[in-house]
Amino acid sequence: MTSSLGLAGDLDDVELIQDVEAAFGVRLGDDEIEQCSTVGHLFELIEARVPGMPSGRSCATAMCFYRLRRALQPYSAIALKPKTSISALSAVPVRKLHQIIETEC
């Protein structure tokens, strides 16, 4: 997620990804994380790893996105959609993002 949230360099990026992985019970590859720049891409990474979820836009996978969006939407000035850049959340302190993901997801 280099330069997508301005987290690189102080391990906040690592902690945020660890929180996402823990919240959804998934493991994301470093190469995938580096390419992640939108909320939708983060959703797709999670969707691909949630056990028992069929691929595609079924109800269960959509629920995954809506769950993530519901947790993050109050902290974004714009409506979060799958193609929304993660930088739309850059005004939210990293520690707050950690707390949101841990409590809401």
> What band does 1 get if pLDDT is binned at 50, 70 and 90?
very low
From residue 105, how far is each of 7, 10, 31, 56 by CA, in Å?
A: 21, 24, 24, 21
Task: Give the tens place of pLDDT for each residue, 14-66.
Answer: 788 888 888 888 888 888 888 887 878 888 888 788 766 555 545 666 777 78
User: pTM of the entire structure?
Assistant: 0.47
pLDDT at site 58: 57
Nearest to 30 by CA among 69, 62, 1, 59: 1
CA distance 2 to 36: 9
Under a CB-based contact definition with an 8 Å cutoff, are residues 16 and 48 in contact? no
